[in-house]
Amino acid sequence: MNVMDTRATSAMLYLDGVHVSFDGFHAINNLSLTLAPGEMRAIIGPNGAGKTTMMDIITGKTKPDEGTVLFDGTVDLTRLDETRIAELGIGRKFQKPTVFESQTVQDNLLLALNVDHSVRGTLFWRGSKAESERIDKVLETIRLTDARNRLAGSLSHGQKQWLEIGMLLAQDPKVLLVDEPVAGMTDVETHLTAELLKEINRNHTIMVVEHDMTFVRELGVKVTCLHEGSVLAEGSIDQVSSNERVVEVYLGR
Ligand SMILES: Nc1ncnc2c1ncn2[C@@H]1O[C@H](COP(=O)(O)OP(=O)(O)OP(=O)(O)O)[C@@H](O)[C@H]1O
C-alpha cells in the first residue's frame, strides 16, 4: 500500500482530483481534500467558489465528471445515490431551517428518528425508552430541553437552526455537513452555535461552510479556503487569513 492509499483508507472523507462542469463551466476544478475521522473542518471561500457543489458531490446530489470521492476509507460515493449515502451516515443541514413549524420541538425530533416517518404516526407515538432517552440527550445537546413542548414555529431563528441540527443528530450520522449555520443569528446565538458544534464534534466528524470569520475563529479548527472550484489555502485560521491570495479573493473584499 502506498502513501496515497493510506491517506485515502484512513480518511472519513477523501476527495481527490474531482472535476464537475455545468455546460462547460468548471465549477469544481481538480479538487482534493481529506477529512480525518473525528475532525471538524471549516470551509470558507467567496461566492461561487464551489462550496455547495462540493457538498452536493459528497451527498450524491451531483455526480463528478472525474475524480475519487471516498467515505470511511473505502466507500465510493460516486456510485451511490443520495438516499443510500444518507443511510450510510452522511447527514446534511442546509442553510435555511426546514423544521416542521406546526409540530412541537419533540415531535420534530421524533420525526427525524427512523421509526415512522409519517407525522400522523408520530402524534400518537411516544417511543421506546431508548428512543426517548436519545431524544432527551439530543434536546440537552441543542439546548432545547425547556422548549420540548413548544411549537417549532414559535422558536427564534437560532433555535430553529439548533433544532435542525438536532434532527440530524437524532439519526446519529458519522459525518455532518453544515451549511452556513450562523447566517442571520445574533452574536450570542453565534457563540452558542460554535459551542454546540464543538460539543457535537466530540463524537462526529463535521464539515462546516461559513462566511462568518468570528465564528470560524471561535471553532478553532483547520480551515480550507476554496476558490474557483479548488483549494486555495489550508491551515489554521491565522495561516489562512494571512495568506495573500485569500485576502485578495475573499477577505479583502
Ligand atoms: N446546477 C448548476 N448549473 C450551472 N451552474 C451551476 C450549478 N450549480 C452551481 N453552478 C455554478 O457553479 C459555481 C459554484 O457554485 P456553488 O454554489 O458551489 O458556490 P458556493 O461556493 O457554494 O457559493 P455561495 O457562497 O454563493 O453559496 C457557481 O459559479 C455557480 O453559478
pLDDT at 153: 96
CB of 22 sitting under 6 A from ligand 1: yes
Are 52 and 72 within one domain?
yes
Are 194 and 119 within one domain?
yes
Are 78 and 119 within one domain?
no
Are 42 and 81 within one domain?
yes
Specify the CATH number for the domain of residue 229: 3.40.50.300
Protein residue whose Cα sits closest to atom 2 of ligand 1? 22
Are 143 and 66 within one domain?
no
Are 143 and 172 within one domain?
yes
**Residue 16 pLDDT grade (very low, low, confident, very high; cuts 50, 70, 90):** very high
Total structural domains within the chain: 2
- Full residue range of the structural domain in which residue 11 is found: 1-88+221-253
Exposure of 208 by Cβ count < 10 A (0-12 exposed, 13-18 middle, 19+ buried)? buried
- Please give the average per-residue pLDDT across 156-176, as a whole number: 94
Position 216 in a domain? no
Residue with cell 491551515: 235
Position 137 in a domain? yes
CB of 227 sitting under 6 A from ligand 1: no
Q: Is 161 helix (H, G, I), strand (E, B) or coil?
A: helix
Query: Which among 77, 81, 131 has a CA at the least distance from the CA of 109?
Result: 131
The backbone torsions φ and ψ at residue 188, rounded to the nearest 5 degrees and listed phi first, read -65, -45
The H-or-E segment that residue 179 falls in is strand 175-179
CB of 243 sitting under 6 A from ligand 1: no
pLDDT at 58: 98
Q: Is 55 helix (H, G, I), strand (E, B) or coil?
A: helix
**Residue 131 pLDDT grade (very low, low, confident, very high; cuts 50, 70, 90):** confident
Position 13 in a domain? yes
- The pTM for the full model equals 0.91
Position 213 in a domain? no
Position 24 in a domain? yes
Are 109 and 144 within one domain?
yes
CB of 181 sitting under 6 A from ligand 1: no
Beta-bridge mates of residue 213: none
Position 74 in a domain? yes
Q: Which three cell numbers stand for residue 60?
A: 450524491
Q: What is the pLDDT of residues 59-115, one digit of tens each?
A: 999 999 999 999 999 999 999 999 999 999 999 988 777 899 999 999 999 988 865
Distance CA 6, CA 53 (A): 26
Are 45 and 120 within one domain?
no
Predicted ipTM of the assembly:
0.95
Position 54 in a domain? yes
- Please give the average per-residue pLDDT across 8-20, as a whole number: 94
Q: Which three cell numbers stand for residue 106?
A: 419533540
